[in-house]
Amino acid sequence: MILKELYDFLDSNKEVRGVTTDSRFIKEGYIFLPKHGKNFLGNEFFVEAITKGAIAIVYDEYIPNLVVPLIVVDDLDKELKRLLNLIYRKPFENLKLIGVTGTDGKTSVSTISTYLLNHISKAANIGTNGIFYNNQIYDNLFTTPILCENYRLFTEFNKNNIKYASMEVSSEGIANHRIDNILFDYAIFTNLSHEHLNTHKTMHNYFLTKLKLFKQLKKDGLMIINKDDYYARFFEDFDNVVYYSLFSPSDFQAINIKYYNGYTTFDLKAKDYILKDLKVNRSEEYNIYNIIPPIIIALKEGIDIKLLYELLVDLPIIPGRMEKVPVKYPFDVYIDFAHTPNSLKNVLIEIRKKAQNDVILVFGAAGGKDKSKRPLMGEIALKYADFVIFTSEDPRLEKPTDIINQMLSTTNSNQNNYKVIIDRTEAMIYAFKVAKKNDIILVTGKGRENYFEENNVRINYSDFDHLLDIRI
């Protein structure tokens, strides 16, 4: 498509290769349509966009002296929708698209879904750990990419004959219109607990935001809902829904669950049949929840049952999710992305089952996020770990000491099983120094994230790499 086909008043035969609202994603031949944000107008990024190769800019105000055409429109959102449909068409129509939402478990559910579906046809995955397709992993700036990136990615998937795409759909992504007008074949609800109240203010609003995903299903789309979660009751009026569970009777219930060291066996009871003696290489209750929705989708898509049994025994390790760090010390070290009260509690309960001795927790809370969860997380940490080292975790524009003081605000004055070390690397080194034989050190909050953010500056950083480098 050339530029004058989009704007007939422009006499330009330049090829249009894409459109984006974020200058960080500009490539040669793109149209730049910046939207207004909380802290910027959008026109601050004109020069960057042009330098990177933008061939035109669409904006809602005239700005003089630009070296590329400026198209002024009244409604940026409406124009963006028009451009996306003309440039990319509707690429999601040619995909079996799976959207996974919920407070916890999105990455695991999405990753396992992609793994199983890849054994039926080519599959891709979009989420916190990156963008995966054709056996390659690409960086992802947001859990749920911006709308323009989603259209571009889906188009790329179409070109590569990819049939399935799983994506994590965050509440912030929904609230910021990153999935607008995209239709899904499957929408999965994992759970809902305390998180993002800085954005949504109340749990009710948080749920209503999540619910929007389930109103964006294709005509024959299916909802897959965790019936053990309190919010499952709000899906009862929908027709196209199946429920899964561990404890409540449901369409797909895991029964006869037996946990072992390194694996779990269970039967999956459906309405008309039972898959007996399924064995998965996970030993945590929350991971059984995470495994059932991918199984349901794989069954719906016609996976060979014998193959399914074989795949479940060898599920891939998900980076940053209860991931063991291969250190050569007489204690074990794990990292986990847990950054909500619910996920922190769950991972501590499960790590306790692995521990022969004490559990030492190194953790913090991110700046610029939900402040109301911080005291809850502090209480959970001190209750379920033997010793806690409070430290920094992406403080952004907040003071790390203020964040930690909020986490300790409800602590009993007699509590003495913790220490505060602001520097995250120093906190991990201290954990190594005090750890005894058969202890477990658990570092939470960042998983496999590759950055640390403070004072509006992102630096390259990895918990995993730093832990590997520690020498005592």
Is 194 a residue whose pLDDT tops 90? no
Tell me if 100 is assigned to some domain.
yes
- 103 and 28 within one domain: no
- 96 and 79 within one domain: no
Tens digit of each residue's pLDDT (9 = 90 or more) over 419-456 = 999 999 999 999 999 999 999 999 999 999 999 999 98
Using CA atoms of 366, 368, 369, 372 in order, give the dihedral in degrees to the nearest 10. Answer: 100
Tens digit of each residue's pLDDT (9 = 90 or more) over 167-179 = 999 999 999 999 9
- 107 and 39 within one domain: no
Q: What is the mean pLDDT of residues 196-208?
A: 89
CA angle 69, 74, 76 (to 5 degrees): 75
> What is the per-residue pLDDT for 81?
97
CATH (domain of 23): 3.40.1390.10
- 16 and 142 within one domain: no
State how many domains the chain has: 3
> What is the per-residue pLDDT for 392?
97
Could you tell me how far CA 115 lies from the centroid of its own chain? 16
Tell me if 434 is assigned to some domain.
yes
- 264 and 356 within one domain: no
> What is the per-residue pLDDT for 413?
78
Tell me if 318 is assigned to some domain.
no
- 270 and 153 within one domain: yes
Average pLDDT score over the chain = 96
Is 299 a residue whose pLDDT tops 90? yes
Q: How far, CA to CA in Å, does 44 sit from each of 23, 28, 38, 59?
A: 10, 19, 13, 12
Q: What is the mean pLDDT of residues 269-282?
A: 97
Q: What is the mean pLDDT of residues 302-308?
A: 98
Tens digit of each residue's pLDDT (9 = 90 or more) over 384-407 = 999 999 999 999 999 999 999 999
Taking the whole predicted model, whether its pTM rises above 0.85 is answered as yes
CATH (domain of 280): 3.40.1190.10
Q: Are 332 and 406 in contact (CB under 8 A)?
A: no
CATH (domain of 338): 3.90.190.20
Tell me if 175 is assigned to some domain.
yes
- 284 and 139 within one domain: yes
Is 197 a residue whose pLDDT tops 90? no
Q: How far, CA to CA in Å, does 443 sit from each of 227, 255, 346, 372?
A: 31, 32, 14, 21
> What is the per-residue pLDDT for 105?
95
Structural domain including 371 reads 323-469
- 439 and 349 within one domain: yes
Here the tokens at position 216 are: 């964006």
